[in-house]
Amino acid sequence: MRRPDGLLNHNVLGEDKGPQDACGVFGVWAPGEEVAKLTFYGLYALQHRGTESAGIATSDGERILVYKDMGLVSQVFTEGDLATLKGNLAIGHCRYSTTGSSTWVNAQPTLRPTKYGTLALAHNGNLTNTGDLAELVQKLEASYTRGATTDTEIMTALIALQDSKNVEASALTVLPQLEGAFSLVFMDEHTLYAARDRHGVRPLVLGKLETGWVVASESAGLDIVGAAFVREIEPGEFISIDANGVRSQRWAEAQPKGCLFEYVYLARPDTTIAGSGIHRTRVAIGAQLAKEQPAEADLVIPVPESGTPAAIGYAKESGIPFGMGLVKNSYVGRTFIQPSQTIRQLGIRLKLNPLREIIEGKRIVVVDDSIVRGNTQRAIVRMLREAGAREIHVRISSPPVKWPCYYGIDFASRAELIANGLDVEEIRRSIGADSLGYVSLEGLISSTKVPSERLCSACFTGEYPIRIPEDLSEGKMRLEITEAHGH
């Protein structure tokens, strides 16, 4: 495997990232199919959920092989690599680190021998009781030092060290001990497993191939491999898939608290969550935004691509024409090439470029999905002014993000969130817009058509549905994240 030196990759946009998702997971049980290739394409569709590293584990019934590396899915695997990963079942993962450093060793799937075979595991989410779990691991394995830096490794160790008759029994012992958000796919030599936390914070769906089964973070991951959507894996559900078919067990009563931010930004527009198509939901949020935050303007433009459906909804509802005033360089993602200082200063222009002939002399409504630190919107406003916009009205398809997420999304620390210290008028002044308007929380939730009591909206309200231990609130966890990103 290449690059075991822990080399970091770089965000070419510099320090001001949008919210980063924790990970994408994929699993397939399909004897006779090229499971590694199916997993590669599944991860390819889930790339937006994690761009720092990617990995695939396969089993041929006798042994499990894992291949993982830093980089985009398409950078990590070659045709030759995939050809060596033969088997009947596979799991895959693409990662954005929310805990643990961004190094090769923390790429997933994780791998651990057990007394009954080998366990490979991939995780989307974030556990909130990692300290307690590490203590449990230490009791089971005297030689265990708390060197493991990810909640995923601790969870893998805990399952692998159980004195049970098989992985299924071990998982059913360990799952109730985990707190926080987790959508898991894991496997031994013969069986594919999947589990979701009792709140179902992160999505996870089940699909059917002609000759097997697929599990994926989003339904878009099923579509790309031709799997038919069967259903969402329920909060608190555990499933096993092997030659006997799919077996479902409930390890906890469901207490749904799906992530509201998946609807705003995280999930792909062509994904369906809780029966709602994400694109349609985002168009509805944009229409709601237009009702709540109207503007006198000549043109509605999106910040592509995450702001596009909401801008379509805003334009339709307001009757203001829609146009593409910002062109996105779609191929700027993550790169191993450290940008030079000159390039870094270009900042947002590496990603977005204004179309002067569309913008010049016009009053523009620019629609974006969220404001985290405010640096991106400040740069966009400046860029649009330079391109000749007469007025700039910024409209945001989520309420102000005021609180950090402890369930797998890396926004920023509380102190870094611009809406934590400033009110809307102060933020408007800070980003230099002529007006600024956010959709209300009620307006956002009603657009999702999911009852508010079934959603997590903690980053907007500060009401965390899963207990946050004191050592995670601000201090310790932020430290890990800060170290991970080398800020």
Catalytic residues: 23
Strands 391-396 and 10-11: unpaired
Sheet containing 237-242: give its strands across.
110-114, 117-127, 180-187, 192-196, 237-242, 245-250
Closer residue to ligand SF4 in complex, CB, 186/261:
261
Q: Tell me which of 36, 119, 137, 260 binds ligand SF4, using CB under 6 A.
A: 260
Closer residue to ligand SF4 in complex, CB, 203/207:
203
Stretch that binds ligand SF4, among 129-137, 219-227, 327-335, 454-462 (CB under 6 A): 454-462
Residues in Cβ contact with 424 at an 8 Å cutoff, skipping those fewer than 6 apart: 400, 436, 437, 438
Closer residue to ligand SF4 in complex, CB, 18/221:
18
- Please report how close the Cβ of residue 446 comes to ligand SF4 at its closest, in angstroms: 16
Stretch that binds ligand SF4, among 32-40, 244-252, 253-261, 317-325 (CB under 6 A): 253-261
Residue ranges of alpha helices (H) inside 47-103 are 73-76, 79-84
Q: Is 150 helix (H, G, I), strand (E, B) or coil?
A: coil
Closer residue to ligand SF4 in complex, CB, 86/454:
454
Asked if 25 contacts 203 with a C-beta cutoff of 8 angstroms, the reply is: no
Concatenating the DSSP letter of every residue in 362-390 gives: -EEEEEES--SSSHHHHHHHHHHHHTT-S
Question: HSE of 179 in the Cβ direction (CA atoms, 13 Å)?
Answer: 15
Q: Which helix (H) or strand (E) holds 279?
A: helix 278-292
- Verify binding: residue 458, ligand SF4, rule CB under 6 A: yes
- Verify binding: residue 204, ligand SF4, rule CB under 6 A: no
β partners of residue 352: 328
- Verify binding: residue 261, ligand SF4, rule CB under 6 A: yes
Closer residue to ligand SF4 in complex, CB, 39/271:
271
- Please report how close the Cβ of residue 450 comes to ligand SF4 at its closest, in angstroms: 12
CA gap 303, 114 in Å, rounded: 48
- Verify binding: residue 186, ligand SF4, rule CB under 6 A: no
- Verify binding: residue 137, ligand SF4, rule CB under 6 A: no
- Verify binding: residue 459, ligand SF4, rule CB under 6 A: yes
- Verify binding: residue 396, ligand SF4, rule CB under 6 A: no
* Helix-then-strand count for the chain, H and E: 18, 25
- Please report how close the Cβ of residue 21 comes to ligand SF4 at its closest, in angstroms: 9
- Please report how close the Cβ of residue 181 comes to ligand SF4 at its closest, in angstroms: 7
Residue ranges of alpha helices (H) inside 15-114 are 35-45, 73-76, 79-84
- Please report how close the Cβ of residue 133 comes to ligand SF4 at its closest, in angstroms: 20
Closer residue to ligand SF4 in complex, CB, 260/285:
260
| Chain residues that interact with ligand SF4, rule: CB under 6 A | 201, 259-261, 405, 407, 409, 456-459
